[in-house]
Structure 1
Amino acid sequence: MLINLDFESNEPIYQQLVHQIIEGIARKEIAPGEGLPSVRSLASDIGINLHTVNKAYQQLKQDGFILIHRQKGVVVNPDGVPKADANYKKQLEKNLRPLIAESICRDVSEEEFLRLCSTIFETYQGGSA
Structure 2
Amino acid sequence: MFISLDFESKDPIYLQLSQQIIEGIARRQLCPGDTLPSVRSLAADIGINLHTVNKAYQQLKQDGFLHIHRQKGVVINPDGVPKADDQYRSKVEHELHPIIAENICRDLNKEEFLNMCSHIYSEFTKDGES
Q: Into which bin does the TM-score normalised by the smaller protein fall?
A: over 0.9
Question: How far apart are the structure 2 equivalents of 1:43 and 1:60?
Answer: 16
For the pair 1:72 / 2:33, whether they are aligned, the reply is no
Unaligned runs of 5+ in 2: none
Aligned residue identity for 2:43: A
Structure 1 partner of 2:26: 26
The SS at the match of 1:24 is: helix
Shift >3 Å, 4+ stretches? none
Deviation at 1:108, TM superposition (A): 0.5
Deviation at 1:126, TM superposition (A): 2.0
Question: How far apart are the structure 2 equivalents of 1:53 and 1:116?
Answer: 31
Provide TM-score, normalisation by structure 1. Answer: 0.97
Structure 2 partner of 1:105: 105
Paired residues for 1:1-129 under 5 Å: 1-126=1-126
Unaligned runs of 5+ in 1: none
Aligned residues: 128
- Alpha-carbon displacement from aligned partner over 1:86-118 (angstroms, at most 9, x marks no partner): 000000001000000000001101000000000
- Alpha-carbon displacement from aligned partner over 1:48-86 (angstroms, at most 9, x marks no partner): 000000000000000000000000000000100000000
**Higher relative contact order, structure no. (Cα contacts within 8 Å, ≥ 6 residues apart):** 1
Deviation at 1:127, TM superposition (A): 8.1
Question: How far apart are the structure 2 equivalents of 1:2 and 1:8?
Answer: 19
Question: How far apart are the structure 2 equivalents of 1:17 and 1:94?
Answer: 22
The SS at the match of 2:108 is: coil
Question: How far apart are the structure 2 equivalents of 1:6 and 1:24?
Answer: 17
Fraction of identical pairs, as percent: 67
Aligned residue identity for 1:35: T
Provide TM-score, normalisation by structure 2. Answer: 0.96
Question: How far apart are the structure 2 equivalents of 1:35 and 1:82?
Answer: 18
Aligned residue identity for 1:88: Y
The SS at the match of 2:2 is: coil
